C-alpha cells in the first residue's frame, strides 16, 4: 500500500510535471509522446485495415486468407519486431530514426488485426435484406457501401478501433527499450534506478490513460449504436427507399 501511495504522490507532485525536469520527467512530455506514438500507429493501421476490411465485408472475398494472415500477425512479438527492424534499418539510418521507424511499424502491425476484424465483421453483420433493398432501389455498390453498410456497421467498426488503440497504448511502452520516450521511459528509468515508486507510477499512468481512452471510445460506440443500430436497423428498408440513387 505504501508503494501505491508513494507512486500517487510522485504522479501528483507538480515538480514531476514541471518544464525542465530531468529524465524521465517531465511526465507531461512523456504523456504527449505516448499519445503521439499511439495516434500515428493506430492511424496508419486504420489506413491499411479499414479499406481492406470494407472490401472483404462487402464482397466476401479473401476472408479466409486474411483471417489466417491476421491471426499470424497477432502472434508476432512486438518487442522482437521492434528490435529486428531497428537493427536492419540501423545500417542505413541514424539510430534514433531507425528506432522510431521500428517502434511505429511494430505498433502498427499490432493494431491492424483488430481494426480489420471490426471492419469486415461489421459489414458482414448488416442484414442482407437491407442490402438487397438498396440494390433494388438502383444504388451503386459504392453507394451501398458508404450509405448503408458502413453506417449500420459503425458500432463494430469503432469497437475494432477501440480494441486496437488500447493494445497500442499498453504496448507503446516498448519504445523506451529503443531509447525513445513515452510513458515507458518512466518505467525503464525506474528499473534502471531500482526505484519501485517510479516503476509503479509509470504503470499507473499507462493504465489511467488506457481507461480514459477506453471510456471515450465507449461513449462514441454507444452513440453510434443508438443512432444507427437502433434507428437505422428498425427502419432500414424505409431509409434505403428514401435515399435512393443519386
For residue 127, being part of any structural domain is answered with yes
Q: What is the domain-level CATH number for residue 129?
A: 1.10.3720.10
Q: Is residue 51 part of a domain?
A: yes
199-223 mean pLDDT: 94
**Interval 63-87 mean pLDDT:** 84
Q: How confident is the model at residue 227, as a pLDDT?
A: 60
Q: What pTM was computed for the model?
A: 0.87
Q: How many helices (H) and strands (E) does the chain have?
A: 13, 0
Q: What is the pLDDT of residues 35-62, one digit of tens each?
A: 999 999 999 999 999 999 999 998 888 8
The verdict on residue 133 lying in a domain is yes
Q: Is residue 19 part of a domain?
A: no
What is the chain's percent helix, strand, coil content, to nearest 5?
A: 85, 0, 15
Domain hosting residue 137, numbered range? 27-243
Answer whether residue 239 is part of any domain: yes
Q: Number of folded domains in the chain?
A: 1
In this predicted structure, the answer to whether residue 231 has a pLDDT above a threshold of 70 is no
96 falls within a domain: yes
| 148 within a domain of the structure (yes/no) | yes
Residue 1 lies in a domain: no
- Select from 35, 43, 16 the least CA-distant residue to 172: 35
Task: Answer for the pair 243, 147: CB distance below 8 angstroms, yes or no.
Answer: yes
Amino acid at each position: 500500500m505504501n508503494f501505491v501511495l508513494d507512486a500517487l504522490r510522485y504522479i501528483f507532485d507538480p515538480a514531476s510535471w514541471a518544464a525542465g525536469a530531468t529524465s524521465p520527467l517531465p511526465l507531461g512530455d512523456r504523456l504527449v509522446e505516448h499519445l503521439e506514438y499511439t495516434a500515428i500507429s493506430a492511424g496508419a493501421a486504420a489506413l491499411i485495415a479499414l479499406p481492406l476490411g470494407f472490401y472483404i465485408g462487402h464482397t466476401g472475398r479473401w476472408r479466409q486468407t486474411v483471417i489466417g494472415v491476421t491471426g499470424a500477425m497477432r502472434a508476432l512479438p512486438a518487442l522482437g519486431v521492434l528490435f529486428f527492424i531497428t537493427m536492419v534499418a540501423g545500417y542505413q539510418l541514424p539510430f534514433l530514426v531507425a528506432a522510431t521507424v521500428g517502434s511505429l511499424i511494430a505498433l502498427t502491425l499490432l493494431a491492424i488485426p483488430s481494426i480489420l476484424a471490426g471492419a469486415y465483421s461489421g459489414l458482414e453483420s448488416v442484414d442482407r435484406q437491407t442490402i438487397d433493398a438498396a440494390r433494388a432501389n438502383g444504388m451503386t455498390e459504392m453507394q451501398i457501401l458508404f450509405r448503408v453498410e458502413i453506417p449500420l456497421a459503425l458500432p463494430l467498426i469503432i469497437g475494432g478501433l477501440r480494441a486496437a488503440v488500447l493494445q497500442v497504448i499498453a504496448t507503446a511502452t516498448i519504445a523506451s527499450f529503443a531509447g525513445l520516450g513515452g510513458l515507458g521511459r518512466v518505467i525503464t528509468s525506474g528499473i534502471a534506478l531500482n526505484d519501485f515508486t517510479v516503476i509503479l507510477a509509470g504503470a499507473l499512468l499507462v493504465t489511467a490513460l488506457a481507461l480514459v481512452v477506453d471510456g471515450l471510445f465507449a461513449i462514441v460506440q454507444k452513440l453510434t449504436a443508438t443512432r444507427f443500430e437502433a434507428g437505422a436497423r428498425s427502419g432500414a428498408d424505409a431509409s434505403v427507399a428514401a435515399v435512393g440513387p443519386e
